[in-house]
Amino acid sequence: MTADLQTYHGLKRVVTVASLLAAGVGALVLLPFSRYAALALSVGALCGVVNMHGIMRGSERLVRTRSAVLFALSSLLRLAGFSIVAAALAVRGPWWSLGPFLVGFFLPLATYALVAARAFQHKP
C-alpha cells in the first residue's frame, strides 16, 4: 500500500472519531436547552459518518470499476435514505431540528476536507 493510501485510510479513522466526539460535545452543550436539538445533532453526525464512508467506498469502487452508473445510483439511494431520516426528525420534532441534523451530517465531510488538505499539502 502506498503512503498516500495509508494516509487516506488513517484520515478516515481520525475523522470518524473526531466528528463523533465533536458532535457528542455539541450535543451535551445543547442538551440543557433542547433535548431534541441534541438528538438531531447526534443522529446527523452518525448519518454523516455513514454517508462519508459510503461516498469514499463508492469513490474507491468508481476508480476500480469505472462504473459511473453504479456510483450515481448508490449516491442517490444514500441521499434518499438520509433525507428520510432528516424529514422524520423534522416532522416528529420542531421544524428547526433540521438545522442541527444538517450540521452533524456535514461535520464529517467538512472535517475530512480540512484534515486532508493539511495532510496532503506537502505532497509533490
Residue 45 burial (CB < 10 Å; 0-12/13-18/19+)? buried
Residues (pLDDT < 50) of the chain are none
What pLDDT is recorded for position 25? 97
CA angle 78, 81, 84 (to 5 degrees): 145
What pLDDT is recorded for position 113? 93
What pLDDT is recorded for position 1? 65
Q: How far is CA 99 from CA 59, 66, 94, in A?
A: 28, 36, 10
What pLDDT is recorded for position 123? 58
What pLDDT is recorded for position 67? 84
Give the number of other Cβ atoms within 10 Å of residue 87's Cβ: 12
What pLDDT is recorded for position 50? 96
Q: How far is CA 90 from CA 26, 42, 60, 100, 112, in A?
A: 19, 14, 33, 10, 27
Is there a contact between 80 and 47 (Cβ–Cβ < 8 Å)? no
Backbone phi, then psi, for 15, in 5-degree steps?
-65, -40
What pLDDT is recorded for position 121? 80
- pLDDT one-digit tens code per residue, 77-86: 999 999 999 9
